[in-house]
Amino acid sequence: MMKPNLKHAFEIIHNIEQKGGRAHIVGGAVRDAFLDRPLGDIDLASSFSPDQVMQAFDKVIPVGAEHGTVIIRYKGESYEITTYRSETEYADYRHPDQVEFIDSIEDDLARRDFTINAMAFNSAAELIDPYGGKTDLERKIIRAVGVPEERFKEDPLRILRALRFASQLRFNLDEHLLQAIRVCAPLLRYISVERKAVEFEKLLAGVGYKRILPLCFSLKIGSFLPIFNKELSLLKKLPAYNLRNMAEVITFYLMQGSAFTVHDWVKEWKLSNRVKHEALHLYDAVKAISFGTEDYDWILYQLPAHLQVHLISVAKALDWKIDESQLAIRYEKLPIKSKKELSFQAEDLIQAFPGSEKGRWIGDSLQRIEKAVVLKKIANEYQAIKEWVHSWNRHEIDS
């Protein structure tokens, strides 16, 4: 049975054809349909200009209309559609110096990176495959469209994309492509760190990462990746379980002896504050497991719930025999799950020390109570906490 979003994409094509145009499903959706993989975003290419697309559909977002691309919102899904086009030189190693709108799907496919991404479906779901992409899928080969060196000079990120696809699909690299990577790898220095981070993260999340990471080392790809360019040996340290995001990556390599801190990784890779905070939480939690600290319950309590699955992933990557069910049980047995559940709050503290001015001591004292409750040093009962608080030396509060 055809997946709903693919069915809707064909409906878009039929709509365009009824209005005198042509359109095709292109790129990863075609590849993944043959591989029976989950379909992500579905892209289309069309003879229609952005203006014609906007006239043909009610909901169109002109995200890159000047370059021929708009997004159609159709039956609750987004479909990126781009006018058939050819491209010239790439002076900045990413954007073509000139884009020419054309009238041929075959010529449009010629500008794409790899043969497995250079296939298209027409309105009758017939395959258009001028570069033998389907055969390469069957052979499990990543091969460039045309001359691989030319494809890499247009956009050197394609070097990492080739390795990423090999990891995700467990495919081999065509010998000509492999040789071109050896020659063109230095071009990666022209690619932004942010773009490299996206591809590297996907590479590590691929099922074939154990074969591809050593290949990255032998191809000297690490020389053009932050942190790894200063600690190339890190690429030899293979996770026992694949890492799914940069917070996991950072934590794993720190536990492998990287001399760089979480802050160093975030700065070098230009990662977001969200990634930084997640990595800090994960690293503390993993260290707690590693060293068996008595504060382990406190660290587990502080770990955001959505990071528990990442904690397990990193533990598996480190080849630790972690019992996921026991971790879940331990978390469930925590006396409280958040500060809101404390039986003693800020107003109670203020009443306990009426002579003290409001200030930082309130937050510090609440955290002291919170930690004591989590570590079961005191019951989460109002009277028990009140008596314990009254036993504090006033100097402890005022200082």
Q: Which residues are annotated as a binding site?
A: 28, 31, 41, 43, 112, 155, 158, 161, 164
Which structure tokens are listed for 314? 């990193």
Is 222:253 a contact under the CB 8 Å cutoff? Answer: no
Q: Report the C-alpha gap between 318 and 340 in whole angstroms.
A: 34
Binding-site sequence positions for Mg(2+):
41, 43
Are 316 and 241 in contact by the 8 Å Cβ rule? The answer is yes
The span from the CA of 2 to the CA of 11, in Å, is 12
Cα 271 from Cα 279, distance rounded (Å): 11
Sign of the alpha-carbon dihedral angle for 258, 263, 269, 272:
positive
Beta strands in 84-131 (DSSP E): 85-87, 99-101, 120-121, 127-128
Which residues are CB-contacts of 116 (< 8 A; sequence separation ≥ 6)?
31, 133, 136, 137, 142, 143, 165
Q: Which residues line the annotated binding site for CTP?
A: 28, 31, 112, 155, 158, 161, 164
Q: How far is C-alpha 28 from the geometric centre of its chain's CA atoms?
A: 17
Annotated binding site for ATP: 28, 31, 112, 155, 158, 161, 164
- Note whether 73 and 60 are within 8 A (CB): yes
DSSP one-letter code for 202: H
Long-range contacts of 265-270 (CB under 8 A, 24+ apart): 265/226, 265/227, 268/193, 268/226, 268/227, 269/193, 269/197, 269/226, 269/227, 270/193, 270/194, 270/197
How far is the C-alpha of 323 from the C-alpha of 289, rounded, in Å?
A: 12
